[in-house]
Structure 1
Amino acid sequence: MEGIVRAVCLSKARGTEKTNVGRAELRPDWGLVGDAHAGHWHRQVSLLSADKIAAFNARGADVQPGAFGENLVVEGLDFRALPVGTLLRCGTALLEMTQIGKECHTHCAIYHRMGECIMPHEGVFAKVVEGGVIAVGDTMTVEARPAPLPFQAAVITLSDRCAAGAREDKSGPAIVARLQAAGYEVIETLLLPDGRTALEKELRRLCDQRRPDLILTTGGTGFSPRDVSPEATLAVAERQAPGIAEAIRAASMRITPRAMLGRGVSVIRGKTLIINLPGSPKACNESMDVFLDQMPHALTLLRGAVTDCAAPAGKD
């Protein structure tokens, strides 16, 4: 799969249209030199298919490259159809896709004129793995990964007191440490107050845009009125995976009868598995003891790979 670079666009300030400069330097773990969106984060470079812009212009939009805030316009590649983790080679430069689409916080002039903006659902984002100069006319190809993308995870802590700074979050870091020790790449950690609205929003954003293999939440699974993590998780679910939550409760009952009061759920949205964990570091680790060994098989299936379901437990 390959395409041709049709525009290389920069802007000096965020929230403004970019200008096609024709040629620029891609710096590793930074982005395009001179662009306001460059930095040490996962959205260093934005890309949009020239074919999508052409189809939008055919409806009377009359927009030029950079109008959507995109850095690179490429003809011949449908970025939206590629998975997160795709490697894109352009000369010596190598990009890795990190996000598909984005939330539109403030509607741009294009949206107000056309009633739609294609960047939120057609644009993708990448980080720079290897640097180099990129210019209009260069060929961009999809490069095979030398090894499978490591399993990626996000961790969300739900706690009013921790979010307010009244108490240190110890559960989130404990989960992160456990995941990293198991070889996961933790792409985001979030600390939210208890409640449904923010958690539902972040779960949708993560699953639909960043697309990690696994999301673990901690807290908000009890009987208190603001313990609504299960309800927020069920609200974004496309499929349920009840066996994981059931196994956690069954194992926890052997430790304390209060485990019967846990209301955590486990569900699937897209290709992401979401599991609710209790609020204490000890209970989080005990819960992860139950399911972590089975995750490689489960997450490989979610990615769509064929595995041997008869393989011994823990040997996938």
Structure 2
Amino acid sequence: MGEIKAICISEKRGTQKHAVEEARFITEYGIEGDAHAGNWHRQISFLGLEEIEEFRRRGAQVKLGAFGENVVADGFRFKELPVGTRLRCGQVFFEITQIGKKCHSHCEIFKQVGDCIMPREGVFARVLHGGTIRKGDVLELAAGPLPLEAAIITASDKGSRGEREDKSGDTAEAMLRAAGYTVLHRVIVPDEKAEIAQQMKEFADEGIALVVTTGGTGFSVRDVTPEATLAVCERLAPGIPEAMRALSLRITPRAMLSRAAAGIRKRTLIVNLPGSAKAVEECLGFVLPSLRHGIDILRGEAGECGRK
């Protein structure tokens, strides 16, 4: 266990990082506003305060962030942590992906003093679960799985205007809580593709495990929830809506008219549910046990789905 001594970013590549008091860490991306963030395995860099202090005792005058590190913390010698180690700071989780790096072009510090500690002492990580970190926060080895969180998006023009009670959202929330999920967010938005998609993106950036939508999956010209889902998902999970339609077809042939979709964005599973409370109870109740296993696989906390 240690303490965050500095959070450092640079808005442009090739410029020295500078310290900030707090920063938003985005799932599978890095620090918001940092030029080195992105969809790759070196989203965040860590360096121990003691290693920096040792370097300073050799006569080098360096500020925190000068080696290109994003996070400086005491209490850790990061290079001794194996790849795959998970760290936690509040609600933010990291996974170490690389220890050290090869310097292809010497940095300004190397040119000045003939050495740089980042290639041998620094480590790199990806963000598994996003959130805000402040200077002085506690950093620790992560024990146990990532938090099991959920968010509910109800797509309804009338509901967004307060003209209709959100009974389908009520049902979804009760079922998710009963299944062990912490429901962090519940929103009602109009049937507008851009607004629905934006909510999905924000929840995925946060690292929420499961986002369910209710409504907007039919044939009406205003039903655009599947289109919003397809627009934001990086990979599709067609078996989930297929299973729900197969179940519903036992009850009514009109289930074939459902256009519900499901897919994955970053480490978040997004599933479209019907707009009625009864249909939500039937469909979500049918798929919910299997969704948990899929989420565990998505987060690297379980193996694949083959039967023994």
1:143 matched to 2:141: yes
Per-residue displacement from partner, 1:127-172 (whole Å, max 9, x unpaired)?
xxxxxxx9x8x79432332x32342111100001111011111111
CA 1:86–1:199: 2 relative to 1, 3 Å: farther
Partner residue of 2:91 out of 96, 99, 106:
96
Q: Is the 8 A contact 1:3 1:75 kept in 2?
A: no
1:87 matched to 2:88: yes
Match of 1:178 in 2: 175
Q: Is the 8 A contact 1:150 1:183 kept in 2?
A: no
Between the aligned partners of 2:15 and 2:261, the Cα distance in structure 1 is: 45
Identical residues among aligned pairs (%): 40
Per-residue displacement from partner, 1:16-36 (whole Å, max 9, x unpaired)?
xxxxxxxxxxxxxxxxxxxxx
1:154 matched to 2:151: yes
Between the aligned partners of 1:68 and 1:150, the Cα distance in structure 2 is: 20
Query: Which amino acid counterpart does residue 139 of structure 2 have in structure 1?
Result: T
Cα deviation for residue 308 of structure 1 reads 5.8
Query: Which amino acid counterpart does residue 294 of structure 1 have in structure 2?
Result: S
Q: Is the 8 A contact 1:4 1:75 kept in 2?
A: no
Partner residue of 1:235 out of 226, 231, 234:
231
Q: How many residues end up aligned between the 2 structures?
A: 221
TM-score, normalised relative to structure 2:
0.62
Between the aligned partners of 2:210 and 2:20, the Cα distance in structure 1 is: 36
Q: Is the 8 A contact 2:156 2:190 kept in 1?
A: yes
Match of 1:279 in 2: 275
Per-residue displacement from partner, 1:30-57 (whole Å, max 9, x unpaired)?
xxxxxxxxxxxxxxxxxxx23x35x869
Match of 2:300 in 1: 304
Structure 1 stretches lacking a partner, 5+ long: 7-48, 89-94, 100-120, 127-133
Between the aligned partners of 1:96 and 1:267, the Cα distance in structure 2 is: 24
Between the aligned partners of 2:283 and 2:137, the Cα distance in structure 1 is: 48
Between the aligned partners of 1:78 and 1:304, the Cα distance in structure 2 is: 25
TM-score, normalised relative to structure 1:
0.61
1:125 matched to 2:150: no
Q: Is the 8 A contact 1:241 1:268 kept in 2?
A: yes
CA 1:87–1:286: 2 relative to 1, 3 Å: same
Between the aligned partners of 2:220 and 2:302, the Cα distance in structure 1 is: 42
Structure 2 stretches lacking a partner, 5+ long: 26-45, 49-68, 72-83, 95-126
Give SS of 1:167's match.
coil
Larger Rg: 2
Match of 1:245 in 2: 241
Cα deviation for residue 270 of structure 1 reads 1.2
Between the aligned partners of 2:292 and 2:19, the Cα distance in structure 1 is: 45
Q: Is the 8 A contact 1:204 1:236 kept in 2?
A: yes
Between the aligned partners of 1:258 and 1:226, the Cα distance in structure 2 is: 19
Match of 2:15 in 1: 59
Q: Is the 8 A contact 2:91 2:131 kept in 1?
A: no
Cα deviation for residue 307 of structure 1 reads 2.2
Partner residue of 1:190 out of 178, 187, 191:
187
Match of 1:164 in 2: 161
Mean Cα deviation higher: 299-308 or 156-165: 299-308
Between the aligned partners of 1:68 and 1:223, the Cα distance in structure 2 is: 43
Root-mean-square deviation (Å): 3.5
Match of 1:5 in 2: 5
Cα deviation for residue 188 of structure 1 reads 0.9
Per-residue displacement from partner, 1:244-267 (whole Å, max 9, x unpaired)?
111111110101111111110111
Between the aligned partners of 2:138 and 2:22, the Cα distance in structure 1 is: 21
Match of 1:214 in 2: 210
Give SS of 1:225's match.
coil
Give SS of 2:213's match.
strand
Between the aligned partners of 1:265 and 1:139, the Cα distance in structure 2 is: 39
1:256 matched to 2:220: no
Between the aligned partners of 2:70 and 2:13, the Cα distance in structure 1 is: 17
Between the aligned partners of 1:292 and 1:69, the Cα distance in structure 2 is: 31
Q: Is the 8 A contact 1:160 1:192 kept in 2?
A: yes
Query: Which amino acid counterpart does residue 197 of structure 2 have in structure 1?
Result: E
Per-residue displacement from partner, 1:209-236 (whole Å, max 9, x unpaired)?
x111111000000111000100110011
